[in-house]
Amino acid sequence: MIAVIVEIHVVEGTQEDFREASMENARASLKEPGVIRFDVLQQIEDSTRFGLIEVYRNEADIASHKETAHYAKWRATVEPWMAEPRKGMKYHTLFPSDADWAKQVCET
């Protein structure tokens, strides 16, 4: 599995709109077969800072996600609200193991 952690800083006053757009994208993303997890986070100390935690089965599923209509809509919608470019980093998941991720997906 591959986790993508995205750090996002939005312009003051756009937090609620960003949150709503991101939640809509997250809900749609979870319907994709290769998306295991999609969390939307808002920093406690600074409400203009958000995080996304996305878990995919593999690189192809990341690429497929970026081709979806809901991702394109999200990207176009939130772009004007960015205080700075978003930063994404990819990680190999170590725990839970791939088998445990698969087990969690089957149980939900």
Nearest to 77 by CA among 6, 13, 15, 18: 18
Burial class of 97 by CB neighbour count within 10 A (0 to 12, 13 to 18, 19+) = exposed
Q: Which domain holds residue 73?
A: 2-107
Number of domain units in the chain: 1
**pLDDT-based confidence at residue 106 (cuts at 50, 70, 90):** low
Q: What average pLDDT score do residues 21-30 get?
A: 98
Question: pLDDT digit string (tens) for 72-96?
Answer: 999 999 999 999 999 999 999 998 8
Is 90 exceeded by the pLDDT of residue 107? Answer: no
Question: pLDDT digit string (tens) for 53-75?
Answer: 999 999 999 999 999 999 999 99
Q: Of the ranges 26-35, 37-46, 94-103, which one carries the lowest mean pLDDT score?
A: 94-103
- CA dist 80 and 90 (Å) reads 24
Query: Is the N-terminal amide bond of 96 cis, ω within 30° of 0?
Result: yes
Which CATH number is 73's domain given?
3.30.70.100
